[in-house]
Amino acid sequence: MLVNETKPFRELCRENGIAVTHQRQVLYETMKTMHGHPSPEEVYARVKKKVPAISLATVYKNIHIFVESGVFREVSLHHGSVRVEMNGEPHHHVVCSKCRKITDIGEKELGLGAKRSRLPGGFLVERYAVDVIGVCAKCQKSDC
């Protein structure tokens, strides 16, 4: 679940058992005004205008807390490091949101619907890459 726009910040914090600090609140409100997929550095630069003494570490720590709390979502659950695909067959990925394990699922096995070859704006489609995100059997058991 993503941000409930109407929910006050204090409530969000109480629900997630985190303290309402000045830095955290300004960070949250700053992030809500941003668009796209900003990096921690970009968020840091923006929030520094309002709280000049804030530390980059605080930005990182709070972004993680927000993501863990479900206040914000990560753009991608894939590895941060460069990874190469060894499976030559057309396939997609199954990603566990708990343990972050990524496994392959065949294009056919996934059975996705119709695809487009063009998108509005003149984007020429080469392929679709689907992540099926959820909880793997192991993590359902171990409640990790």
Ranges within 16-45 binding a second copy (CB under 8 A): 31-32, 34-40, 43
* Dist. CA 140–CA 130, nearest whole Å: 22
- Residue 126 interacts with a second copy (CB under 8 A): yes or no: yes
- Residue 102 interacts with a second copy (CB under 8 A): yes or no: yes
Nearer to a second copy, 13 or 91 (CB): 91
Nearer to DNA, 47 or 95 (CB): 47
Return the number of other C-beta atoms located less than 10 Å from residue 7's C-beta. 11
The CA-atom distances, in angstroms, between 137 and each of 5, 77, 100, 101, 141 are 33, 18, 13, 11, 6
Task: State in Å, rounded, how far the first CA of the chain is from the last one.
Answer: 19
Write out the residues near a second copy by the rule CB under 8 A. 2-3, 5, 31-32, 34-40, 43, 63, 66-67, 72-88, 93-97, 102-105, 109, 111-114, 116, 119-137, 140
